[in-house]
């Protein structure tokens, strides 16, 4: 007892008066923890006005208690510290210190948590490095299974995310892939930090490389060049679909990603590389018809399904057994539009104005043939080159000439009828010549000329079919309005620009489109969109959804086909129906590898309404859902 008192009295004798913080630090560094504790305890109890280093003194007091073996006392003071010194610069260091205290107590779980918190929060590089080393060592070796589960589910903040990834890595290392996937699936929506995101992605990559049931898929898209924006959006959707699939199954997915730059030569080179890789069971892409044909020529006979996301050329699947057209062909859409226009809308007379490209010609020809088969009349068919900046000089002028000629003939016939009525058969109201009223804007001396006047409204064409290229719609809308034609506009998916239609709504009265998906009519969960944004930093658009659904369709079939491309081909062709997020697939056509499903929509009051859809059994109305079988009509 006397010795103990001497130890206490010596520092008082040595220092005398008010204790000094620097002296306390010096004693601590020399291992004189009792002496240092006396100084820091006294300084910590002073008012801030007397001791501006009060929070530092309190922090050092905790360290002294820990060094002296009073761990519970140190923990108690550490828990009180944040409330007493909320703005202290030692807050980050405190987390590391608490980690050390728990480590001395043999509590690996709590120690790992506080070291992880320090690693995430501190700005001191040395402390961060040490904290990470401690955390990784404890999670990787010292924590038991119960500790790991508790740590992984403790929090969704950045500390929780960091330690959950380490736990997932531990489970993966020990072969418990299911636990690892479960942790990543639960934590992934909250990870925003770029370093943590990279670590999560690296873990997914390890799933692929270590998993015996890994599905290897080639993805060939234009990631640079003129179609790079579209290609990258589709790729994001493909990646997200693969991640979702791995979260819910025991399969890994290894994406072999290639940039074909939209070039045929590069596409063919990549196809040879795909052909020579025995692991690959399927290929998604390329996008354009030409590149799909080049790929098919190289892969013909190698039992590798080629999923074409955007190619819509007619009879494309006839070129190779491997091609599957995810989007409906132009022929399928044109026939569906013709049947809907004649049989449902009741239109009889038509004009067709289309670009003189292969796209426009196939659409126009297929539409015209089906209208003719159904008893409708194509009164005019015209073509344009490039952008439709001026259709009035030829196409609209000729359509109006036809209408005026027809109106003039009706006027003459009606005039003869009136002459006969004047003999004595006339009754009240019969003397009004309706065609004369319509032709008033071009009357000269009581007789109409054969010249035109845009003041004459013409309605002799029930519907005009406009298959157009993207960006052409605005030109056509203005010219329709200026040419005073009352008609029902029939269009393809390139009319799906709600912003332009809303702005120019007065230019058009009736509009019906044929489309290959339900985008805009399908409810997308907010959680899907939010998670996508967290991972890819942009909101999903039509091509992101396309990539997601293409990959989803492929993987749904692949899990039943093992790792065989030929078995995958068999599964796909014998499982013809797939419902994705916004796309639906019903394999049909002569090859059973074309998507037969198309959707009809009307533009009503500044919004599109889904009217119905055609599948390989006929038309289904969204109102009645009654089947109107094409076989019964024919």
Q: Which CATH class is domain 214-328+523-591?
A: alpha beta
Instruction: Please tell me the distance from the alpha carbon of residue 380 to that of residue 397, in angstroms, as a whole number.
Output: 11
Burial class (CB in 10 A: 0-12, 13-18, 19+), 245: buried
Give the CATH H-level superfamily of domain 331-515. Answer: Response regulator (3.40.50.2300)
**3-class SS at 358?**
helix
pLDDT-based confidence at 224, cuts 50/70/90? very high
pLDDT (tens digit per residue) in 298-317: 998 887 899 999 999 999 99
pLDDT band of residue 228 (cuts 50, 70, 90) is very high
- Which value, to the nearest 10 degrees, does the dihedral of the CA atoms of residues 38, 41, 43, 46 take? -130
Cα separations in angstroms, 147 against 48, 106, 112, 316, 495? 41, 13, 10, 57, 58
Whole-angstrom distance, CA of residue 348 vs CA of residue 337? 13
Q: Cβ(463)–Cβ(341) under 8 Å?
A: yes
202 or 327: which carries more pLDDT confidence?
A: 327
Which one, of 317, 315, 326, 283, lies nearest residue 584 by Cα?
Answer: 326
| Cα 218 from Cα 260, distance rounded (Å) | 12
Quote the DSSP letter at residue 87: T
Question: Which tokens belong to 147?
Answer: 């500790």
- Calpha distance 602→612 (Å, rounded): 10
Q: Please determine, looking at this structure, whether the domain spanning 2-213 carries the CATH number 1.25.40.10.
A: yes
Q: Which residues of 342-469 form beta strands (DSSP E)? A: 349-355, 377-384, 443-444, 447-448, 463-466
Per-residue model confidence as pLDDT tens digits over 583-618: 889 888 888 899 989 999 888 877 888 888 888 778
- Longest CA–CA span in the chain (Å) reads 147
Phi first, then psi, for residue 518 (nearest 5°) are -105, 20
Tell whether the model's pLDDT for residue 218 goes beyond 80.
yes
What are the residue ranges of CATH 3.40.50.2300 in the chain?
214-328+523-591, 331-515
Angle, CA of 614, 620 and 624, to the nearest 5°: 165
pLDDT value at residue 134: 93
> Could you tell me what percent of the chain has a pLDDT over 90?
37
Of 47, 86, 81, which is closest to residue 61 (Cα–Cα)?
81
User: Which of 36-40, 198-202, 369-373 comes out lowest in average pLDDT?
Assistant: 198-202
Q: How confident is the model at residue 544 (pLDDT cuts 50, 70, 90)?
A: very high
Residues listed for the chain: 634
Give residue-wise pLDDT tens across range 485-543.
888 999 998 888 878 887 776 677 789 999 888 776 777 888 899 999 989 999 999 89
φ/ψ (deg, to 5) at 466: -120, 85
Residue 334 to residue 348: CA distance in whole angstroms: 16
Q: Is the pLDDT of residue 208 over 80?
A: no
The answer to whether the CB of 521 falls within 8 A of the CB of 498 is no
Average pLDDT over residues 155-165: 92
Structure tokens that stand for 398 in this block: 């000729």
> Coil, strand or helix: which one is 45?
coil
pLDDT value, residue 437: 59
At residue 259 the predicted structure's pLDDT band, cuts being 50, 70 and 90, is: very high
Place of tokens 């040879």: 272
Distance between CA atoms of 40 and 24, rounded to whole angstroms?
A: 7
Instruction: Supply the mean pLDDT for the chain.
Output: 82
Question: What's residue 48's pLDDT?
Answer: 65
Task: Report yes or no: 513 and 491 within 8 Å, Cβ to Cβ.
Answer: yes
| Residue 276 reports pLDDT greater than 50 | yes
Q: Which residues pair with 448 in a beta bridge?
A: 443
Helices 108-121 and 125-137, packing angle to 10 deg: 150
Look at phi and psi of residue 335 and say left if phi exceeds 0, alpha if psi is from -120 to 50, else beta: alpha
Provide the pLDDT for residue 439: 62
pLDDT at 157 over 50: yes
Q: How confident is the model at residue 50 (pLDDT cuts 50, 70, 90)?
A: low
pLDDT at position 545, please? 94
Q: Can you read off the two tokens belonging to residue 107? A: 């509590």
**Residue 2 pLDDT level (bands cut at 50, 70, 90):** very low
CB atoms within 10 A of CB 454: 14
Please, which pLDDT band fits residue 293 given cuts at 50, 70 and 90? very high
In this prediction, residue 361 carries a pLDDT of 93
Mean pLDDT along residues 41-55? 77
What single-letter DSSP state applies at residue 46? S
Q: How far apart are the first and last CA of the chain?
A: 113
Per-residue model confidence (pLDDT) at position 272: 94
463-466, strands of its sheet edge to edge: 377-384, 349-355, 463-466, 488-491, 510-515, 598-604, 607-615, 618-621, 627-628
């Amino acid at each position: 007892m006397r010795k103990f008192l001497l130890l206490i009295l010596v520092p008082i004798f040595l220092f005398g008066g008010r204790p000094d913080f620097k002296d306390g630090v010096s004693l601590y560094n020399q291992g004189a923890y009792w002496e240092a504790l006396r100084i820091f305890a006294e300084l910590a109890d002073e008012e801030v006005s007397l001791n501006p280093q009060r929070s530092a003194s309190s922090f050092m007091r905790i360290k002294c208690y820990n060094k002296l073996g009073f761990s519970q006392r140190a923990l108690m003071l550490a828990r009180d510290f944040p409330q007493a010194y909320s703005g202290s610069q030692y807050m980050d260091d405190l987390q590391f210190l608490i980690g050390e205290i728990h480590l001395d107590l043999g509590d690996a779980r709590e120690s790992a948590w506080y070291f992880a918190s320090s690693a995430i929060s501190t700005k001191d590089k040395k402390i961060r490095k040490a904290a990470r080393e401690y955390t990784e060592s404890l999670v990787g070796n010292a924590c038991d299974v119960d500790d790991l589960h508790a740590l992984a589910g403790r929090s969704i903040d950045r500390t929780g995310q960091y330690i959950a990834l380490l736990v997932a890595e531990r489970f993966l290392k020990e072969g418990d892939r299911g636990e690892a996937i479960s942790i990543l699936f639960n934590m992934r929506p909250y990870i925003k930090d770029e370093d943590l995101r990279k670590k999560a992605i690296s873990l997914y990559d390890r799933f692929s490389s270590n998993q015996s049931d890994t599905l290897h898929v080639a993805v060939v898209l234009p990631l640079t060049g003129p179609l790079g924006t579209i290609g990258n959006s589709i790729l994001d959707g493909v990646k997200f679909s693969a991640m979702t699939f791995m979260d819910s199954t025991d399969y890994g997915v290894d994406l072999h990603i290639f940039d074909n730059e939209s070039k045929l030569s590069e596409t063919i080179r990549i196809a040879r590389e795909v052909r020579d890789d025995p692991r690959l069971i399927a290929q998604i892409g390329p996008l354009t018809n030409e590149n799909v044909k080049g790929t098919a020529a190289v892969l013909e006979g190698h039992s590798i399904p080629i999923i074409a996301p955007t190619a819509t050329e007619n009879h494309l699947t006839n070129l190779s057994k491997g091609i599957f057209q995810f989007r409906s062909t132009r022929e399928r859409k044109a026939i569906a539009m013709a049947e809907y226009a004649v049989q449902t809308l009741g239109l009889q007379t038509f004009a067709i104005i289309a670009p003189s490209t292969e796209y426009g010609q196939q659409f126009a020809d297929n539409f015209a043939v089906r209208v003719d088969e159904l008893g409708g009349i194509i009164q005019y068919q015209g073509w344009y080159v490039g952008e439709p900046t001026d259709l009035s000089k030829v196409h609209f002028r000729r359509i109006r000439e036809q209408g005026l000629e027809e109106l003039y003939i009706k006027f003459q016939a009606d005039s003869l009828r009136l002459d006969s009525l004047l003999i004595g058969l006339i009754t009240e109201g019969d003397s009004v010549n309706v065609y004369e009223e319509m032709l008033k804007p071009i009357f000269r001396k009581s007789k109409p000329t054969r010249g035109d006047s845009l003041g004459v409204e013409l309605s002799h064409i029930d519907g005009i079919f406009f298959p157009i290229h993207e960006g052409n719609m605005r030109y056509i809308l203005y010219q329709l309005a200026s040419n005073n034609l009352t008609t029902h506009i029939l269009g393809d998916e390139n009319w799906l620009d709600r912003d332009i239609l809303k702005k120019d709504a007065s230019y058009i009265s009736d509009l019906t489109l044929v489309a290959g998906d339900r985008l805009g009519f399908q409810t997308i969960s907010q959680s899907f969109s939010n998670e996508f944004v967290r991972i890819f930093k942009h909101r999903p658009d039509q091509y992101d959804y396309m990539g997601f659904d293409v990959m989803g369709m492929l993987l749904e079939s692949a899990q039943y086909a093992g790792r065989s491309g030929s078995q995958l081909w068999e599964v796909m062709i014998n499982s013809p129906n797939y419902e994705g997020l916004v796309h639906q697939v019903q394999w049909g056509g002569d090859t059973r590898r074309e998507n037969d499903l198309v959707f009809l929509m009307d533009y009503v009051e500044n919004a599109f309404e889904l009217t119905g859809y055609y599948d390989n059994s006929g038309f289904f109305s969204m109102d009645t859902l009654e089947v109107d079988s094409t076989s019964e009509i024919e």
